[in-house]
Structure 1
């Protein structure tokens, strides 16, 4: 029986693969305490004020990927990864020691975006529904200039509550937010309410009759 060849990756899939590679690179950098501390200085700041990040990130960003929003997204996500709480760093180290996960770039649309992460936080009672939904609706009306400064405290709260953040998906969304905000914001909102609903249904199914 002949096997059917997998379809060639789309442009979006290729971008996600590059985002995955960048996230893996930053995780590797963070094994060095000096590099981690340097990257953490960029939390919530525009690229122009991230003086200690250039030596690590410029070599990973070829000129064609240096559009302002794309570059800022890479710097922001690198700083967010470096700023993870210790519990999240330990969990990531344990996962890395267990072996690399299977590639998921071919199904990027199934990976958790920020809406999914916020929904999980609500389901864990780490966030109140009104707070999570308020954050989501506020961000859908804002440009990345307003979103970036909010992300350090938001993602840290998620990680402290043992809620995972898919950094590669967040990187891709931030990079294209100002160009395609309505579509990305709709995906975040739909994912949030879908996750909240399905998790509620799962809880009901587990309850004894």
Structure 2
């Protein structure tokens, strides 16, 4: 959709806004959403609108580069390549200062869905402007789960951040290793 300047502009207008204020986006996103306005799926709908806006708002440099993750791998196998990992890569690359990235993550972990959606555009713009990629599918899934499972999503983001920011990508400890470290 973002190949068209008209579509990109319409999608970009929804940055940080609730779905109800994104009237220009409906024509582009309705073919992808089959929830028929089901209020139980409002979080999923909002996530689609937010991620579509973020993708449309990418700077030209970010539009011309390929994603960090292998898009052929299912999202659940890439879930560690989440927003926290992107922030960690930004710190490791010197795009963001560690205390700023960590503070942003801790703040997001305490915020409502509305606040997350309002704050994401500036954060993502910083990442993309510094050449750091975002896995849009993983972000979409995380945002759609935020109201139901915020603590788990925020914990995954923080864990991925700390694994990535310091340059370690060590595998999880096995149960036996955990027993030895206690």
TM-score (norm 2): 0.85
- Structure 2 distance, partners of 1:76, 1:110, is 18
Contact 1:113 1:165 in 2 (8 A): yes
Counterpart for residue 55 of structure 1: 27
| Secondary structure class of the residue paired with 1:38 | helix
CA deviation after TM superposition for structure 1 residue 198, in Å: 3.1
Quick check: which one's helix share is greater? 1
- Structure 2 distance, partners of 1:137, 1:64, is 35
- Structure 2 distance, partners of 1:126, 1:85, is 16
Instruction: Pick closer, same or farther for the CA change 1:199–1:103 going to 2, 3 Å.
Output: same
Aligned length: 166
| Secondary structure class of the residue paired with 2:14 | coil
- Structure 2 distance, partners of 1:188, 1:102, is 19
- After superposition, the CA RMSD in angstroms is 2.0
TM-score (norm 1): 0.74
* Residues 30-179 of structure 1: pairs in structure 2 closer than 5 A: 30-63=2-35, 66=38, 67-92=41-66, 103-105=72-74, 108-109=77-78, 111-179=80-148
* Stretches (4+) displaced over 6 A: none
- Structure 2 distance, partners of 1:87, 1:148, is 23
Contact 1:119 1:193 in 2 (8 A): yes
CA deviation after TM superposition for structure 1 residue 107, in Å: 5.1
Please give the per-residue CA displacement for 1:101-156, whole angstroms capped at 9, x wherever unaligned. Answer: 56100752455100000011111111111100000000000111101011111101
Please give the per-residue CA displacement for 1:16-52, whole angstroms capped at 9, x wherever unaligned. Answer: xxxxxxxxxxxxx001111111111101110010010
- Structure 1 distance, partners of 2:121, 2:135, is 14
Structure 1 counterpart of 2:151, from 144, 158, 182: 182
- Structure 1 distance, partners of 2:94, 2:169, is 13
Contiguous gaps of at least 5 residues in structure 1 = 1-28, 96-100, 202-209
